[in-house]
Amino acid sequence: MEPLPRLRARISSLGELRDIIRALRAMAASHVQEAQAALPGIRQYVAVVEDAISEGAALLPPTDGARSGDAPARRNILLVLCSEHGFVGSFNEVLLDRAEEWREAGQGMVVVGARGAALAAERGLDVLQSFAMAPHVGNVLGVTRRIAAYLAGVESAAVVFGGYRPGGYFEPELRRILPLDPALMVGSRRRSPPLHHMAPEDLLVRLADEYLFSEITRSVTESLASENGARLRAMETADHNIGDKLDRMKSAAHSLRQEAITSELLDVVTGSEAILSAGDV
């Protein structure tokens, strides 16, 4: 068994590490709550944009389904939303596993999150572009703008992200964000057309851009909640493991201290006996 002073030093170091882990756990819990609070409003906004597209589609003249002036698709993009920072367990590994599984032939991969991009490079994946992931809800719109600008002109795009589940769990999900869902273009069943001040074609182009922006925002926010949920669970596990180890080390330190006290008492008793024996002589 190691000396008592060294054991006490290790106990002190582990205690400091536990304080750091608990601070990270509290921060992750706060970020989960922020993302969860933002999601209902974002989902509602997506629904509003979808309704607007349906009503705008009803303004278009009937067509035979052919589109004029189509440009060839620049790329077919698969967007993978990973984490910017670590301590997330297998979060990035699981998402990249699913991305490789769901990736279509000829589909270019774009990775969001420094940790995910590094892992993709380790795996030798061909990544067209990488972006920084939002560390908290306040940065989500900035990330969304950069991604939306990159996807401008892309005709086909899907996103792989962590779908949040209660208790800090997540499930990988695949959501297609381009092209627009054909069901949205059927047109609203409203009897009276909505008031508008733009040409229907221009209006739908603007709404399509807004739809893309809102869908990316929703996916980034939900993946951020999942990432921090994974980090929260990882920190809880680390805290529990350190607590168990501290208990064992404190028990060992207590035993060593008791042994030292016993040894000191034995030395005192032995010395007393030696003095008494010398006196008898």
User: Hey, what are 47's tokens?
Assistant: 């629904």
In a domain, residue 90? The reply is yes
Count of domains forming the chain: 1
Say how far residue 187 (Cα) sits from the centre of its chain.
36
In a domain, residue 6? The reply is no
Query: pLDDT at position 69, please?
Result: 40
In a domain, residue 130? The reply is yes
In a domain, residue 275? The reply is no
In a domain, residue 220? The reply is yes
In a domain, residue 261? The reply is no
In a domain, residue 142? The reply is yes
Indicate whether this model's pTM tops 0.75: yes
Domain containing 108 equals: 21-61+71-235
Average pLDDT of each block of 10 consecutive residues along the chain (281 residues)? Answer: 82 93 94 94 92 78 48 75 95 97 95 97 96 95 95 92 92 93 65 66 84 95 96 94 92 84 76 68 54
The CATH number of residue 134's host domain is 3.40.1380.10
Q: In this structure, what DSSP letter does residue 104 have?
A: P
Distance between CA atoms of 76 and 96, rounded to whole angstroms?
17
In a domain, residue 52? The reply is yes
